Structure formats: structure tokens, C-alpha cells
Amino acid sequence: MINTLNESHLHKTLKTLYSLENEGCQTEAKAGKYIADILTKEGNVIEIQTGSLAHLAAKIMYFFEQKRTVTVVYPLVTQKYIQTEDGQGKIIRKRKSPVKKNIYSVFRELTALCPFLLKRNFYLHVVEVSVTEKRTATKEKVQSANGRRHFLRDWIKTGKNLDSIEKKHVFHGKKSYTELLPKNLKEEFTVTDLYNAVKLTESGVKRNEISLMVWVLCKLELIEFTEKKGRTNYYKKK
């Protein structure tokens, strides 16, 4: 159980939900040289990843070598509340974070997993969630636990609670990725064309997210570069 000591409420809750869906599974189970979040009775692996997906690359490769099917569950925080407490756990303030994410935001994470995304034994579940990030106020400005702060703050993060699950996207196979391309997209398109088309249904989408989407889909050979006019690249679906 040593792996569960620093487990967030978000990670723990999703692990519990997925374990309940897989009767006879084990949690925090030894699977070769790694510990799997969930090991099904068939010997397949389910990993809940609340951090960067890039950190899973070596683990996924190892499980593939063992002929296991791997499901990665990635909670995408589309709504976040920030709750600040004092040292005794009393809520000082709570506010809604202005940060907006949507399903297209996930492509930033997928760049590291391109070699696995279209494998028959790989599944990606992107779970849109609403969470509350907990912070504890400090008397003085302090560094974060991971030492990454450029500027000291008068609070530290103490947890992340899952409030609700809004939607789940299951990615497996080519169609599951190309379905994110708008149906009204021109046969030959630019990043700007794709961005404008997506904006019609996802108002909070960012242009750099669409640029990363194009990069990933090219890498997966689901779309292809056709020509360059001036400084603008054109693409089409394969």
C-alpha cells in the first residue's frame, strides 16, 4: 500500500470506480517490475494518470512487451474550484478558477504517447471532471512541495477532490480520433480553418491546442500535409 500514501482524492476515487467496473480485479497489484493501479482478472492493466501522460511511456511499453492490454484513464479538469483553508481546516475562501479546458486540450498530453495510441491493445479514457483544489494558507510565502515555483506564495496545495464526472471519451482506433474533426471542415484545410470550425462548438478552445491536434494526427498518419502556400501549410484527411 506504499503507493497510496500520497494518493489524491481524485486518483483514489477514479481507481475505486474503475475497480468496481472490473469484477475480480486487484488494485496496487504487482505486474512484473511495475505496480499497476488496477490489474484485471485477465491480467490486463488500468492506469489512472492525473499527472503528465509522458510519465507513463516506459510503463506502457513494458506492459505491451508482456502482452497485456493497457487502458489509461486521464481525468481532464474542465471545471475547477479553488478552496483555501487555514491550518485548522476552516474554509477561508472558495472561488471558481478561470482556467478553461475541453477535449481538444488533451492533445498536449498525447504528443508523448503517439507510438501507442493506435495499438490494438491500447485504450485511452479521457474523463472530463469538475474538481476542487485544496490549499492551506501559510503565514509566510513559501516554496511549493516540488520546488517549482518561480515566485513564493502564501499557500500550499494539499489535495484535489473529485466533485463530479461530466463526460467520458473513449479513444481506441483511428475513427475515435478523426471524429474530433468537424464535419463541416473543408477537404483541404489549414490549422486556422480547423480552429475556426472547432470554435463553433467549443468556444474555449485555443489555437495552440488545434496546432498540437494537427501535429498528433499527422504523426498517427490520420491526416497528411498536402502543400505549402506562402507560410501556410495545408492538410487533408487520409
* Paired sense of beta strands 188-189 and 223-229, if any: unpaired
Dihedral over Cα of 191, 192, 197, 203: its sign: positive
Q: What are the two backbone dihedrals, phi and then psi, of residue 234, each rounded to the nearest 5 degrees?
A: -120, 145
Q: In whole angstroms, what is the distance from residue 201 CA to residue 68 CA?
A: 37
Q: In whole angstroms, what is the distance from residue 76 CA to residue 149 CA?
A: 23
* Paired sense of beta strands 122-142 and 70-85, if any: parallel
Cβ distance 107 to 216 under 8 Å? yes
- Per-residue DSSP letters for 7-42? --HHHHHHHHHHHHHSTT-EEEEEETTEEEEEE-TT
Q: Looking at residue 147, what is its pLDDT?
A: 87
CA of 129: how far to CAs of 46, 148, 164, 213, in Å?
18, 25, 6, 21
Q: Looking at residue 203, what is its pLDDT?
A: 84
What's the first-to-final CA gap in the chain, in angstroms?
A: 47
CA proximity to 210, closest of 197, 225, 224: 197
User: Tens of pLDDT along the chain (238 residues)?
Assistant: 444 445 789 999 999 999 999 999 999 999 999 999 999 999 999 999 999 999 999 999 999 999 999 999 999 999 999 999 998 989 999 999 998 899 999 999 999 999 999 999 999 999 999 999 999 999 999 998 888 899 999 999 998 999 999 999 999 999 999 999 999 999 999 999 999 999 999 988 999 999 999 999 999 999 999 999 999 999 999 9
CA proximity to 170, closest of 117, 125, 122, 232: 125
Cα 79 to its chain centre, rounded Å, is: 14
Specify whether the backbone of 12 is left (phi greater than 0), alpha (psi in -120 to 50) or beta. alpha
Q: pTM of the full predicted structure?
A: 0.91
Q: In whole angstroms, what is the distance from residue 192 CA to residue 25 CA?
A: 46
Task: Using the CB atoms, write b or e for 63-85: b if 16+ within 10 Å.
Answer: bbeeebbbbbbbbbbbbbebbbb
**β-sheet bridge partners, residue 224:** 236
Measured torsion, CA atoms of residues 114, 117, 118, 119, in degrees rounded to the nearest 10: 110
